[in-house]
Amino acid sequence: MHRVGSRLCPPLFSNRIDRSGPLFPHRLCLALFSVTLAVMNTQQNDERLELPLDSWRLVTDGVMGGVSQGRSTLTDHEGVPCLNMAGDVSTRNNGGFIQTVHELLELDRSALTQFRGVWVRAKGNGQDYNIHLRTDRLWFPWQAYRATFQTGPQWNTVKIPFSSFAPYKTSTQLDRGRLSRIGVVAIGRDFTADVCVAGIGFYK
């Protein structure tokens, strides 16, 4: 079994703390970590909007009886702060996905109509991954608008126009002004997932 998250993006901090030593180094690490999170707030310029990396959560097929396992963690890869999603995707028990998701409810979603698509800066283990979009008009958890991007050993920025997102299990067309969630997803086959996202958002 693949040890989740250890291959491409090792954890930023060790889980083992020497409690016999001085506490100052740990306080310093926590302070630096807080500074890192502080600069990850939603940022927007004339050309794009960047989503924070510190407000994503993991969802797996366990919610429907699947056995896929994963982890979504903030880490640092080659000096680049990133969100690492890693794990083992299994199609057993009608499962087959892990994903890390970000809720868009705090955004002015009407402003998203000004944007033309999604951008993501990522590197990974050579596997394909999906971007899934959901709107507040989708009722069932399996419904989404899906697009695929490839990863490799180098950082790469990909732009995916909204027109490339295919509706899944819904006849409703994508309304970008009603977007409620975005997810990075490993799905559809038995494989080891390991992808780092250094930036993600929407572009004009």
127 assigned to some structural domain: yes
96 assigned to some structural domain: yes
Q: What angle do CA 7, 10, 13 make, to 5 degrees?
A: 160
Q: Return the pLDDT at 46.
A: 65
Q: Return the pLDDT at 30.
A: 35
38 assigned to some structural domain: no
Would the pLDDT of 184 be above 80? yes
25 assigned to some structural domain: no
Beta bridge partners of 15: none
Residues 89 and 47: beta-carbon distance below 8 Å: no
Nearest residue to 72 (alpha-carbon basis) of 204, 200, 202:
200
pLDDT tens figures, 32-91: 333 333 334 566 676 899 999 999 999 999 988 999 999 999 999 999 999 999 999 999
Nearest residue to 74 (alpha-carbon basis) of 42, 110, 34:
34
26 assigned to some structural domain: no
* pTM over the 0.85 mark: no
User: Which residues neighbour 19 within 8 Å (Cβ) at sequence distance 6 or greater?
Assistant: none
Q: In 3-state terms, what secondary structure has residue 49?
A: strand
Give the 3-state secondary structure of 57-87. Answer: EEEEHHHHCCCCEEEEEEEEECCEEEEEEEE
pLDDT tens figures, 133-182: 999 999 999 999 999 999 999 999 999 999 999 999 999 999 999 999 99
181 assigned to some structural domain: yes
If one counts the domains in the chain, the total is 1
Could you tell me what percentage of the chain is helix, strand and coil, using 3-state DSSP and rounding each to the nearest 5?
Answer: 15, 45, 40
Token couple for 78? 């080659």
67 assigned to some structural domain: yes
Residue 198, sorted as left (phi over 0), alpha (psi -120 to 50) or beta, turns out to be: alpha
15 assigned to some structural domain: no
Any idea what the CATH number is for the domain that residue 87 is in?
2.60.120.430
Residues 88 and 2: beta-carbon distance below 8 Å: yes
**Domain limits for position 191:** 44-203
pLDDT tens figures, 8-31: 544 433 333 333 344 333 333 333
Torsion of the alpha carbons at 171, 184, 194 and 69, rounded to the nearest 10 = -70
